[in-house]
């Protein structure tokens, strides 16, 4: 059975009722970016069928990721080998924050004490606990990290730690270590738009924390729904992701 549907059944089939949210904004719905951050967070020139993109890095102001000098060689090697080395093409879960700007939709569910994020891409999902519980002990690692959240006014703030290192931040080879920490901010600006920010910290790779920002669009329902995006064998027998479903438009 498809693991996504098992997960959704758990959400809806065991007495779960949606809360009266009080002061918490209702983020439920299907969301998607309309940009090409997944190609390169630092922006890129015009590509086949795509306009040039400015950097999504808003801090530092120059739009550049502040790598440690010792980490630059690994980033450059990743870039040279990106077509075959990108973990996303090798059926890994995309990680955080990349799961947000893979050009496929994701769906948010809410209940008291928890926010659930289900991604179309490779059945990935996250449970963001907002009930005050502590993170898992260091050394317990996850591809999608260990998420703990709280509300600051209308903004959902999510502290994500305990990562595996086998994911990239984009398709250009920007990477991290197991010391990665990501602090996400989901801020609705209207019923159909939300600003997504992520501050990325990794003292083994970066000189200092840095921040990306982009807009999310709520897709209309029931016209929109999550589809299945599975790995397939390529001509060499390797498992690969097919082209993304529902890319930028």
**Of 65 and 245, the one with more pLDDT:** 65
CA-to-CA distance for 223 and 200, rounded, in angstroms?
A: 34
Domain range enclosing 171 = 3-240
CA-to-CA distance for 51 and 249, rounded, in angstroms?
A: 12
Mean predicted confidence (pLDDT) in 77-82: 96
* Burial classification of residue 31, based on how many CB atoms lie within 10 Å of its CB (0-12 exposed, 13-18 middle, 19 or more buried): buried
At residue 231 the predicted structure's pLDDT band, cuts being 50, 70 and 90, is: confident
Cis status of the peptide bond prior to 222, with omega within 30 of 0:
yes
41 domain residue, yes or no: yes
96 domain residue, yes or no: yes
Pick from 16-30, 101-115, 222-236 the range whose average pLDDT is largest: 101-115
pTM: predicted TM-score of the whole model, two decimal places: 0.85
Q: Pick the closest to residue 19 from 135, 113, 124, 88 (CA basis).
A: 113
195 domain residue, yes or no: yes
Mean predicted confidence (pLDDT) in 50-58: 90
* Burial classification of residue 52, based on how many CB atoms lie within 10 Å of its CB (0-12 exposed, 13-18 middle, 19 or more buried): exposed
233 domain residue, yes or no: yes
At residue 227 the predicted structure's pLDDT band, cuts being 50, 70 and 90, is: confident
**Which residues, other chains included, contact 107 with Cβ-Cβ below 8 Å and sequence gap of 6+?**
29, 30, 31, 117, 118, 226
pLDDT tens track for 169-221: 999 999 999 999 999 999 999 999 999 999 999 999 999 999 999 999 999 98
Q: What is the mean pLDDT of the chain?
A: 87
247 domain residue, yes or no: no
**Domain of 226: which CATH number?**
2.40.128.20
147 domain residue, yes or no: yes
Cα–Cα distances (Å) from 194 to 110, 237, 241, in that order, read 16, 40, 28
219 domain residue, yes or no: yes
Give me the number of domains the chain comprises: 1
25 domain residue, yes or no: yes
pLDDT of residue 244: 52
């Amino acid at each position: 059975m498809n693991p996504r549907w098992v997960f959704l059944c758990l959400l809806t089939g065991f007495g779960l009722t949606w809360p009266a949210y009080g002061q918490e904004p209702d983020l439920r719905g299907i969301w998607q970016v309309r940009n090409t951050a997944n190609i390169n967070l630092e922006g890129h020139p015009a590509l086949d069928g795509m306009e040039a993109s400015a950097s999504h890095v808003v801090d530092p102001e120059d739009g550049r990721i502040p790598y440690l000098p010792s980490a630059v060689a690994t980033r450059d090697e990743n870039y040279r080998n990106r077509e075959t080395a990108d973990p996303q093409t090798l059926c890994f879960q995309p990680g955080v924050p990349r799961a947000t700007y893979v050009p496929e939709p994701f769906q948010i569910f809410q209940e008291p004490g928890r926010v659930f994020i289900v991604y179309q891409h490779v059945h990935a999902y996250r449970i963001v606990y907002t009930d005050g519980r502590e993170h898992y002990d260091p050394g317990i690692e996850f591809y999608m990290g260990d998420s703990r959240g709280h509300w600051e006014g209308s903004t959902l703030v999510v502290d994500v730690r305990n990562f595996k290192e086998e994911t990239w931040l984009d398709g250009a080879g920007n990477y991290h270590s197991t010391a990665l920490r990501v602090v996400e901010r989901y801020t609705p600006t209207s019923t159909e738009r939300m600003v997504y920010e992520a501050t990325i910290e990794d003292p083994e790779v970066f000189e200092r924390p840095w921040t990306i920002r982009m807009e999310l669009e709520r897709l209309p329902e029931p016209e929109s729904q999550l589809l299945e995006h599975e790995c397939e064998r390529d001509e060499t027998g390797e498992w690969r992701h097919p082209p993304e479903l529902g890319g930028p438009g």
